[in-house]
Amino acid sequence: MPAKKSAPKTAPKVPATKSAAKTAAKTAAKTAAITAMNPATTTGAAPAKKAAPKKSVVAIGELVIVDAGDHTRDRAPLGAHLSIAGGTWEAAARAKEISATAAQIFTKQANRWVERDITPDEVARFRAAMRETHVRWSCAHDSYLINLASPDQTLRARSIESFRIELRRCHALGLDALVSHPGNYMDERASGLARNIDGIVEGLEAESGPTRLLIELTAGQGTVLGSTFEEMALLISRIPASVQSRVGVCLDTAHIWAAGYDIVSEYDDVWKRFGDTIGFARLGCLHLNDSKAALGSHLDRHDLIGQGTIGRDAFGRIMRDPRLASIPKIIETPKGDAPAESDGRMLKLLRELAQ
């Protein structure tokens, strides 16, 4: 989430001498620069020195492009989940670092209920920055706190409101999709599914725009909904036709593996079952993640591609599968201490596997 702007510090009072005035002007300009996260100057004063950027913020002019393979050969948009530290527009710099042709972001802090509005200035900065990248498809992932299936009326009302505002932010930024997890029913599965559907419909009817909602298949841990193709198909089928065309699915390889779908030894069978049950027309995005968990374990534990229990061969088949050739693909693999380098290695591997 963009860092909160600190209140500008008041320049210290100094004697009204020519030297002191110059010092005060420099101090005020430098403070303003830090507050705005951009270099600033003062009228009639010497140019202020550029404030040193925070470590989490990478200005587009200071990029170090990592070797992420040849993005020009991407048959479908391919990228990673990117940090928005410093502002949503800063995701553009991080996309350029890894030669991404797709990007996923959070539009707010995902583990807090605090909401925020998107200003026209932020929209302009984000869109302008993204136009300078190779990204041709972008999405957001909504808050982990949202639970549209909750039986708790207070939590559910809060979740619906957060879901609506998330959709509003995505529409404003012009994102192609919003990835959203189904909720946890916590009491009775059928009742939870009905509550989840009603919450989705309420949000879509309240917030119209270009962003498509992609409901993500889950690993099936605890009381979470949406871990089987059949249940996801049922959920979508019960959404009214008036908004159903705005809904698709996101398939995460680590999730379906943990849910029991063997994409290693039963690859063709799994995709046939997906096509017959949900349909490829509903598939709006693939999250390509290896897994630290065992097949059917119902544990959501992402790993680097080729280093987990799924292995690189399955990802090679996915990257070369003509049925998936046009589907945007996003990695959410561990980033370690060097996010660009880690993501770059993963994208380079996937690009090599696609050939």
Find the mean pLDDT for residues 189-217. 98
What is the tens place of the pLDDT at every residue in 170-191?
A: 999 999 999 999 999 999 999 9
* Domain locations along the chain: 1-52, 60-353
Examine the pLDDT at 199 and tell me if it is beyond 90: yes
What is the tens place of the pLDDT at every residue in 4-27?
A: 444 444 433 333 433 444 444 444
What is the tens place of the pLDDT at every residue in 285-295?
A: 999 999 999 99
What is the tens place of the pLDDT at every residue in 108-162?
A: 999 999 999 999 999 999 999 999 999 999 999 999 999 999 999 999 999 999 9
Kindly give, in sequence order, each residue whose CB lies less than 8 Å from that of residue 248, ignoring residues fewer than 6 positions away: 177, 212, 213, 214, 215, 282, 283, 284, 285
Examine the pLDDT at 56 and tell me if it is beyond 90: no
CATH of 60-353, one of 3.20.20.150, 3.20.20.70, 3.30.70.870, 3.40.640.10: 3.20.20.150
What is the tens place of the pLDDT at every residue in 244-282?
A: 999 999 999 999 999 999 999 999 999 999 999 999 999
- DSSP letter for each residue of 101-169: SEEEE-SS-TT-----PPPHHHHHHHHHHHHTSS--EEEEE--TT--TT-S-HHHHHHHHHHHHHHHHH
Find the mean pLDDT for residues 201-230. 98
Find the mean pLDDT for residues 64-69. 95
